[in-house]
């Protein structure tokens, strides 16, 4: 199946700094990738849809200027948390939907962000 990687797997940063998280689709070209956020003991919440070559679409309540998404190639999407604050501490997960033979969603291993 498709392999989706994320980097870094965990990051600790100071409040006010920006953090970039990479999501790579290793086996499939992905015109669309999805970013989720998961707070402790809660379910996954979709943040945004990353579209290759165009602007990302954000879910209601997600600040697009705070969570910058760039999808510059068919295998890489990046999520930048700008001016991070402790309330942004969370588990960020990306995914790729693979149609056809698989018709399933492949998730990355997640990135644990802790903002001090």
CB 111 within 8 A of CB 45: no
CA pair distance 50, 86, nearest whole angstrom: 24
C-beta of 91: minimal distance to another protein in Å?
7
- The residue within the footprint of another protein, chosen from 28, 58, 67, 106 (CB under 8 A), is 106
Look-up: residue for tokens 């309330």?
87
Residues 13-32: x where in contact with another protein by CB under 8 A, - otherwise, as a string: -------------------x
Q: Write the burial class of residue 1 (CB in 10 Å: 0-12 exposed, 13-18 middle, 19+ buried).
A: exposed
Site residues for another protein per CB under 8 A: 1, 4, 6, 32-34, 36, 43-46, 49, 91, 93, 95-97, 99, 103-110, 112
């Amino acid at each position: 199946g498709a392999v989706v990687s994320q980097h870094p797997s965990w990051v600790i940063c100071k409040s006010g700094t920006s953090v970039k998280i990479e999501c790579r689709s290793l086996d499939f070209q992905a015109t669309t990738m999805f970013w989720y956020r998961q707070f402790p003991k809660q379910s996954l919440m979709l943040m945004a849809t990353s579209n290759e070559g165009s602007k990302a679409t954000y879910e209601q309540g997600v600040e697009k200027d705070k969570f910058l998404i760039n999808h510059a190639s068919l295998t890489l999407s990046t999520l930048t948390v700008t001016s991070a604050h402790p309330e942004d501490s969370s588990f960020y997960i990306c995914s790729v939907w693979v149609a056809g033979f698989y018709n399933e969603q492949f998730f990355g291993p997640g990135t644990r962000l802790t903002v001090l």
